[in-house]
Amino acid sequence: MGEGYALEWLDNLITVTLNPVNPKHVIASPEDIAKLERLVIEEKNKVEEAIKTQVFNLDDDVKIKSSINKYHSSLVNLLEHAFENRSRISKHKPLKQVFNTTIACMDELLALIERRFNRYLSKDEQVPFTYLIAQKKALAGRLEVLASEPYLSSQPAFGIVKNELEKFLSYADVEHTYTFKELLYIKDLCIDLKKVKTVHEPAIYTPLDELLIRLNFNSRPYIHILCKQLADLLNNIEKPEEKMSNLLLYFKAFRQVNRKPGAVFNACDASLHTQVATWLKQEISYTRKQIQYSGSLLKEAVNSDKRNMKHKIAEKLLVKLSVDQIALVLRAADEIKIIVARSLNSVFKSIVPHLSTPGHEDISYDSMRSKSYAAELRDKELVIQTLQQIIKKIREY
């Protein structure tokens, strides 16, 4: 069955039969409305079968993609008309009920296409305005339902996910152009979040973490909390050899989480996999160097550090930046070779003991070094503003 015939009945129902501005439009009786609702459901089943049959009968991916995208765009356009027509009906509640049934059936057809034939969809197109408003409202409702799930509500990571999605869905149309790819990502995420269950056995990554890793939820706040979880586990281990063993285990488990091809929350930022893998590799490299110092050499190094601390300068330099912001400056200075040292660790170890901030008299160079790999956007902006002030001052000399 061709697509034009498959959607012809629904098209005629929405644009003609249920069109309130149609001069021939007649308010239906309760019996007519009940019959219409039955017919809508029957037609939905026919269209669903037509889509499956057509895809099954086609042996060319190009033709399948063309067919699926025509169905999808046609259904979205019909939904737009249905929303507009329903908004014009103010007093006829039974007729609104027919619209609601029709809209629900078309939503089911779109869900079938978006879940079962996802790989054939052209997802970079802009979402029509009326359809977008309805989808935003529906997704916001799903998030509220998910927030009532006991397991999810107990997870800090879910709080971040909810905040990030609500923030994204709150953009006005002049602030952001939404694409089908973005909406489909959030739909899939909400569906999969509903399936996440509690696991009572201890694990490196929670079921929620594994889902977010698989779907490349590359939100900076989430990546920060994920790396912090791993860092907290490592901080409880004193021996470098044991720490290295655990780091390698964390990295292996991270790489074994299956990734969904093409999935990404923020296409403008580096993937979650790249950012977390970089952090783990840096920790492994640092721990490997720690292991090189063993036995008496390590003891002598510790004793030497203690002796050197007694002769440190009496007054530290006060830097009016936060620890995270200083970490960014030192890391950047090392990477562009303004400061030359054996390693980035040497840079922090040599400089940090002589610094203090308004909030910290004594700063751990090791902690500052770790923070340099998980920079917050706000910290980066403040450092850039400070550097711009320095540039301005130099130009005035």
Overall average pLDDT of the 270-296 stretch: 88
| Greater pLDDT, 61 or 226 | 226
User: Over 50: is that where the pLDDT of 378 sits?
Assistant: yes
For the chain, give the mean pLDDT. 86
Question: Who's near 118: CB < 8 A, 6+ residues apart?
Answer: 184
| Contacts of the segment 169-173: beta carbons below 8 A, 24+ positions apart | 169/136, 169/139, 169/140, 173/129, 173/132
Q: Which of 122, 117, 137 is nearest to 186 (CA)?
A: 137
Q: Which two tokens stand for residue 310?
A: 């007694």
Residue 1: per-residue pLDDT: 40
Assign 307 a pLDDT band (cuts: 50, 70, 90). low
Residue listed under structure tokens 């920079």: 375
- Among candidates 367, 205, 348, which has minimal Cα distance to 283? 367
pTM: 0.64
**pLDDT in the model for residue 191:** 93
| Dist. CA 264–CA 219, nearest whole Å | 10
Please give the share of the chain, as a percent, with pLDDT higher than 70. Answer: 90
What's the angle, vertex CA 226, arms to CA 147 and CA 148, rounded to 5? 5
Separation CA 304–CA 283 (nearest Å): 24
Most confident among 93-102, 256-265, 335-344 (mean pLDDT): 256-265
Q: Cα angle vertex 109, ends 99, 162, to 5°?
A: 90
Residue type, position 140, single letter = A
How far is C-alpha 299 from the geometric centre of its chain's CA atoms? 45
Burial class of residue 297, CB neighbours in 10 A (0-12, 13-18, 19+)? exposed
Q: Which of residues 140 and 289 earns the better pLDDT score? A: 140
Instruction: Give pLDDT tens digits for 119-139.
Output: 888 888 888 888 888 889 999
Return the pLDDT at 3.
45
